[in-house]
Amino acid sequence: MKKSLIVGVAAGAVVLFALVWAAAPVLAAQALIRAAEAGDENKIERLVDFPSLRQSLKDELNAELAAQLRRDPRMAESGLGGLGLILAPMLVSGAVDAVVTPEVVARMVTTAEAPDPTVRDQPEPGDAVDEDDIHQSWGYRDFNAFAVTLTDRDRPEQRLALILERRGLFTWKLAAVDIQNEAGA
């Protein structure tokens, strides 16, 4: 009797551990979304790995900019296209370092748009955002990466995936983005 009780308790503990372990990124993503909707910058700072997020955003924006320059026939034919490809990473890097703040992360989460460091006019903090227009899909990308893909129903060809990465056994932080733009593909 005691042996079966011990085995049952151990099996229950293992199942409970597995459930909590699997649910941890979902809970972290929900906390990030709630903090963004509430404008809680302190909570956003705790849920985001800003150096990793900035580097990921730089990589994504540089790749998008390079693709746009290659698609533009005027830039491909002129010598300025090559110069643009050389200078763009430096400009994007400095702009991303200055632009990516908890407020901008909140805007990314609530609008499903990556920040554009080339645009100076950002929405005013009081501008209304209709969260009902943002579709969310959730899923593991791999053992240590979980994605929340955001799509604005008005722009279904543009998606922004927020990538949470494991930091310890149960801790997850927003560490990367994946800008998926089908319009330019």
pLDDT, one tens digit per residue, over 105-164 is 999 999 999 887 666 555 554 445 555 689 999 999 999 999 999 999 888 888 999 999
* 25-74 tens-digit pLDDT: 999 999 999 999 999 999 999 999 999 999 999 999 888 887 777 777 77
* 158-178 tens-digit pLDDT: 899 999 999 999 999 999 999
Q: Which residue has the tokens 């290659």?
A: 70
Q: How confident is the model at residue 103 (pLDDT cuts 50, 70, 90)?
A: very high
What radius of gyration, in Å, describes the C-alpha atoms of the chain?
20
Q: What is the DSSP string of 129-168?
A: --GGGEEEEEEEEETTEEEEEEEETT-TTEEEEEEEEE-S
Mean of pLDDT over the chain? 86
Instruction: Name the pTM for this structure.
Output: 0.81
